[in-house]
Amino acid sequence: MTQVILEELERRRAAARLGGGEARIASQHAKGKLTARERIDVLLDEGSFEETDMFVEHRSHDFGMEKQRIPGDGVVTGRGTINGRLVFVFSKDFTVFGGSLSGAHAAKIVKLQKMALTAGAPIIGLFDAGGARIQEGVESLAGYADIFLQNTLASGVIPQISVIMGPCAGGDVYSPAITDFIFMVKDTSYMYVTGPDVVKTVTNEVVTHEDLGGARVHAGKSGVADGAFENDLEALSEVRRLIGFLPLSNREKPPVRESYDEADRDEASLDTLVPANPNQPYDMK
């Protein structure tokens, strides 16, 4: 009997790990993007990921949603380590309902945010989603409100890092915008409150995804993003590097690294960095 239960559990786990299915995973790869679970595998130390709420499903019965239930409900959550240091991570799964946020999906993220705050460890969000799940209406919007509250409570207590890895709109960019570090992936990720189609409908202005909220706009003009990288692998490896510079929370000091640069070294170029003549212009950057 115990063996039967274990086999059934493993079958359900295998189904949950497939997310939206092989066809949607292939579509994700065709766009040059990794899946939610592949991103976590790249980000965390090998074998360190402990998943939470793997079998959570949405509770909606509107618009035929009761016939479409996928374990995990569009977000993979859990904890693991980066270079042996504890972190919490959630990764939006674009293959499940486009990664859109439902009430249950939001509850998974809020639970993880509270766990990170209690443990005093960074939380990393990997975003690839289209915003609120329209079928759930106000409940999904309320879910965003709960996430925003946790963002503000965690501010200044633990590092909050967001990586934009797909076309993100609405709540999936409001929340990252109030976190501490935002990384983007060039050509595949976008941050905007609403997409080009809505802009055209409302203002009659034709604008591309890239001009509206691409990595080059946010990293070069608006200052919203702290870095823009060539692909998913490079962005995730840079997050691993960033974690190495940060304290896990405000209760500890940043990591100390050995330096081979003499503290009393003279740097002659600093003497001429700002001109002696106050009327002479110079490059602020």
Question: 264 lies in a domain?
Answer: no
Q: How far does CA 117 lie from the centroid of its chain?
A: 17
d(CA 256, CA 96): 41
| Count of H-run helices and E-run strands, the chain | 10, 9
* Bridge partners, 126 (sequence order): 91, 163
Closest CA to 191 of 161, 160, 170: 170
Question: 238 lies in a domain?
Answer: yes
Question: 278 lies in a domain?
Answer: no
What is the extent of the structural domain holding 169?
Answer: 2-258
Question: 51 lies in a domain?
Answer: yes
d(CA 215, CA 107): 29
- Sites in the chain below the pLDDT cut of 50: none
* Bridge partners, 161 (sequence order): 124, 181
Question: 270 lies in a domain?
Answer: no
Give pLDDT tens digits for 112-158: 999 999 999 999 999 988 777 666 667 778 888 999 999 999 999 99
Task: State residue 156's pLDDT score.
Answer: 93
Question: 281 lies in a domain?
Answer: no
Question: 279 lies in a domain?
Answer: no
Task: State residue 60's pLDDT score.
Answer: 64
Task: State residue 97's pLDDT score.
Answer: 66
Instruction: Say which amino acid occupies 84.
Output: G
Task: State residue 150's pLDDT score.
Answer: 95
* Residue the block writes with tokens 């990393």: 124
Residue 20 structure tokens:
């939206």
Closest CA to 188 of 33, 38, 43, 39: 33
Find the CATH number of the domain harbouring 168: 3.90.226.10
Give pLDDT tens digits for 187-196: 888 898 888 8
Task: State residue 135's pLDDT score.
Answer: 66
Number of folded domains that form the chain: 1
3-state secondary structure of 28: helix
Question: 263 lies in a domain?
Answer: no
